[in-house]
Amino acid sequence: MSHLLKKPFGAHGKVHQITPESAGWRYVGFSLYRLRAGEVAAEATGGNEVILVMVEGKARIQAAGQDWGELGDRMDVFEKTPPHCLYVPNGQDWQAEATTDCVIAVCAAPGMGGHAARRIGPEGITLTQRGEGSNTRWINNIAMEAEDYADSLLVTEVFTPAGNWSSYPSHRHDEDDFPRITYLEETYYHRLNPKTGWAVQRVYTDDGSLDEVMAVKDGDVTCVPRGHHPCGAPHGFELYYLNVMAGPRRNWRFVPAPEVEHLF
């Protein structure tokens, strides 16, 4: 199995924990909780800022000394409705008590104290189309560059219809040479509909020093330390993924793979 493919280490509680140390990089952290109604998850952010994404279900959340009430609305991620999210700056605590069975993603990157805690979505998040034909997918931008919600984090959701490609045409963001390209590490949290399905993600560099092709299943996480990173959803299987990106600057600039430059 590829070292870039992370399987959940359980079906309940904290089921993913990716840190810069475990991933062998510097910026992005990603954790995932699957809670039953009445259960509690709690963490200190430390030197990181975090965005809590209610992937599915509902929870009452306290963070940064405030009670944010019950967050969450969609009970199945493939409803494609805008997510309820919460930004929590570095140096703070958060606690989530599940009011229904729920899935909570914890997106993390270095914080600089530049933003206060705040709700993100569902207002202001609109499902938008990107691409065309068999490259069509649908995007819920949570905290991308246009939204001044964070110090480091870039977070978005992507829904790829069955039979389509996504994160395509192939591109990379692995050099710090703004404005031509930015260095951004990235994680993908994958979900499949139906859950028994699978999809494909390739991560490869132009020189072939990294070339991994992974069959991803429902609940898997993939890490993209460098290189191009397209995804394909086979006929019959709809693909969702939650992207987390971060690097030395909060800008998303990429360079296409040579073989697909004519598609841009």
165-209 pLDDT, tens digit each: 999 999 999 999 999 999 999 999 999 999 999 999 999 999 999
pLDDT confidence tier of residue 264, bands split at 50, 70 and 90: confident
Buried b (16+ CB within 10 A) or exposed e, 97-111: bbbebbbbbbbbbbb
The mean pLDDT value for 101-108 works out to 98
Would you state the structure tokens that stand for residue 224, as one six-digit string? 């993209």
Mean pLDDT calculated for residue range 147-160: 96
Mean pLDDT, all residues of the chain: 97
Give the Cα separation of 170 and 153 in Å (integer): 22
Q: Percent of the chain beyond pLDDT 90? A: 98
Residue-wise pLDDT for 88-99, tens only, equals 999 999 999 999
pLDDT tens-digit profile of 30-54? Answer: 999 999 999 999 999 999 999 999 9
Q: Where are the domains of the chain?
A: 5-258
- Phi and psi dihedrals of 77, rounded to 5? -60, -30
Q: What is the pTM of this model?
A: 0.97
pLDDT (mean) for 228-255: 98
Question: What string of DSSP letters covers 29-77?
Answer: EEEEEEE-TT-EEEEE-TTEEEEEEEEES-EEEEETTEEEEEE---SSG
> In this structure, what token pair is assigned to residue 43?
């963490």
Report, in angstroms and rounded to the nearest whole number, the Rg of the chain calculated over CA atoms: 17
Query: Contact 230/166 with Cβ under 8 angstroms?
Result: yes
- By the 8 A CB rule, do 137 and 233 touch? no
Query: Is 258 exposed, middle or buried, given 0-12, 13-18 or 19+ CB atoms closer than 10 A?
Result: exposed
pLDDT at 12 over 90: yes
* Percentage of residues in the chain having pLDDT higher than 70: 100
Among candidate residues 99, 85, 15, the one with its CA nearest the CA of residue 57: 99
Give 26's pLDDT tier (boundaries 50, 70, 90): very high
Residue 213: the pLDDT is: 97
For position 60, what pLDDT does the model report? 98
- At 18 the pLDDT is 98
pLDDT in tens, 207-241: 999 999 999 999 999 999 999 999 999 999 999 99
- Give the pLDDT band (50/70/90) at residue 1: confident
Residue 125, pLDDT above cutoff 90 = yes
Residue 190 backbone dihedrals phi, psi, to 5 degrees? -100, 140
Tell whether omega for the bond before 169 is within 30 degrees of 0, i.e. cis. Answer: yes
Fold for domain 5-258? Jelly Rolls (2.60.120)
pLDDT score, position 145: 94
Who's near 44: CB < 8 A, 6+ residues apart?
A: 92, 93
In degrees, rounded to 5, the angle at the alpha carbon of residue 121 between the alpha carbons of residues 117 and 123 is 125
